[in-house]
Amino acid sequence: MTFAGKVWRLLVGIKDALVLLFMLLFFALLYAGLTARPNPGAVHEGALLLDLDGTIVEEASEIDPLQILLSGADIAGEYPARDLIRAIDTASGDKRIKAIVLDLSRFMGGGQVHLSEVGAALDRFRASGKPVLAFANGYIDSGVMLAAHANEVWVDPMGGAVVTGPGGDRPYFGGLLEKLKVNAHILRVGTYKSAVEPFTRNDMSPEARRNYTALYDTLWEEWQADVQKARPKANLDMITDDPVAWLKASRGNAARAALAAGLVDRLGDRIAFGQRVAEIAGADSGDAAPGNFAHTALAPWLAANKPSQSGKAIAVITVAGEIVDGKAGPGMAGGDRIAGLLHDALSDDDIAGLVVRVDSPGGSVSASEEIRRAIMRHKARKIPVAVSMANVAASGGYWVSTPADRIFAEPDTITGSIGVFAVIPTFENTLGQFGVTSDGVKTTPLSGQPDLLGGLTPQAEAMAQAAVEDIYARFLTIVARSRGKSATEINRVAQGQVWDGGAARQIGLVDQYGSLDDALGWVAKQAGLGDGEWHASYLGTKLDPYHSVLQQLMQGSGKGQETAGMDIIALLSSRRANLFAGLTREVELLLGSRNAQAYCLNCPSLPRLTASKTGLSGHIAAEPLSRELLTRIFAM
């Protein structure tokens, strides 16, 4: 009994300790929630601090606290471009805001369209007579493009700036698969199917090289034009023609080289920069530490400047990230989730029109079609429907754009990629090297198919090829009906080719240049609504009430002065990390089991760092046909 009593007391003690622990955790979270949630009352006279410690995106991902806790990793911030633009535009007319401060010390970039839109907003702010000041330990392409719109660009004397330009090499697995004797069954339609090239070749085909040379040249020209217009004194030729000579001219000092090329205006550490901002915006009365200045952070500023809700609603549905089956998102375009949001909005008679904002390289064919059908149900109400393309609207991203009455894109939007391919790897030759064979009884030529270990029968491969051709034919038909052309005309500009916004406009895949605001204005005009008679209503943007709490707890306090910056080497290394993440993604595409996809793998990847959403530049059209899809084809 004595032993049993001791065990009982031990169990009771453990129980009491756990109860106390959970109570402390509950009250800690409650306190964090009360202190970390954006408070409109936290707006102060001084600077608007945009501490961009992450990426600019179309739609912020939902934070999964369990995933973060299990991985033990910090999350990178995600800043929707429209939030930044609204913050900047409202600050320009507010007397409390004396300047905007861009802290780009841990800025990981964004799509070129988003950077251009935020840069234009900064130009409007400067036109109001207020300055923009930027600081970073190091700048690379995205940071250079954004900082170019500042009156004063500062860099730490230990840092610098580098311009690499778009493009680069990618891995090819043809030789490896040959050595491993993996039989990669290639199912394809059209000429420009460079998506399958990494699994069949050791280099890029001439057709793919021509297509991507034209695309990257356009993106590079647009980048240079944006930076040169914002910063005419910048000598981009000096930086890009012979970067080694440029650096040597400053005796290897990257910061002074950036100053000589006109990419930055001042060299100084964070404290010196903060003192300069304090001269304009005032000192921080609550914290007299060196380098601090009076400021308002982004979250409370947005909370204090909510968008207007007057007049009729023009619904905006966002299709951002990979298009997948199910309810995934925000940050990924779950077909069920987006179709559900559109279905719920059908009952709202106050909706005068619909804008579909697309920033996606595509994904699941079935999910893309589900979203397209949901948009068509809105179109059946006889309301105007427009599509606004952001950085990428390719493959499945173009599929969901087809119901539009009018398609808007930017010159550096990447679109098209109308094509389908599949790769089905089988390992009969690989296993044969180790004496592994397969045998059995078959009642039909399709019994046991697809057999990834024993190989595909000719009948199975022929049926899979027919399925790919059927999906491609459907894609062509949908696009042709949408654009008022024949399938033959669309086929000439399809076949997996990727186009920049300007080229897409010339060949009829896009109607006109324009931003999301332009698309909203067009829909309002078609609905007979004038200025002040409508507002944008973003469907599905209400985040969990604890989202901002988790974001601030995971990212820190939000005071840029306390954030350790990343120099050029760290910034370039982070891009290499994305490359390895993309390499893993491509192996998954070869071996993974997924449904048929319409996916642009070679579209330049967007720098999304949360939940492994970054991808290597890959190619057009579709992921491998999976066993699940083949199972449906073969009715097994």
Catalytic positions, written as ranges: 193, 395
The helix/strand/coil state of 374 is: helix
Return the closest-CA partner of residue 399 out of 321, 323, 464, 501.
323
Cα–Cα distance measured from residue 204 to residue 198, given in angstroms and rounded to the nearest whole number: 8
Q: How far apart are CA 614 and CA 605, in angstroms?
A: 7
What are residue 381's phi and psi, to 5 degrees?
-80, 0
Neighbours of 206 (CB within 10 A): 8
Cα 169 to Cα 571: distance, rounded to the nearest angstrom: 18
Radius of gyration of the chain (CA): 27
Question: Residue 200 is encoded by which pair of tokens?
Answer: 């069949």
Q: Report the alpha-carbon distance of residue 462 to residue 477 in Å, rounded.
A: 23
Q: Extract the tokens encoding 170.
A: 């990618």
Q: How far apart are CA 26 and CA 85, in angstroms?
A: 36
Q: Tell which residue, 323, 514, 557, 320, has the closest CA to residue 407.
A: 514
Listed in sequence order, the DSSP H helices in 400-450 are 428-432
For 388, other C-beta atoms within 10 Å of its C-beta total 29
Dist. CA 251–CA 257, nearest whole Å: 8
C-alpha 63/C-alpha 82 separation (Å) is: 19
Contact call for residues 44 and 295 (beta carbons, < 8 A) = yes
Return the residue matching tokens 């094509």.
Answer: 419
CB atoms within 10 A of CB 36: 19
Q: Round to whole Å and give the CA distance between 202 and 276.
A: 53
> Cα separation of 214 and 414, whole Å?
12
CA angle at 294 for the pair 289 and 297, rounded to the nearest 5°: 110
Q: Nearest to residue 540, comparing CAs of 323, 356, 308, 297?
A: 356
Query: Token digits for 428?
Result: 């009969």
Any idea what DSSP says for residue 574? H
Residue 103 phi/psi, 5-degree rounding, is -95, 105
Whether the bond into 166 is cis, omega within 30 of 0: no
What number of other Cβ atoms are within 10 A of residue 214's Cβ? Answer: 15
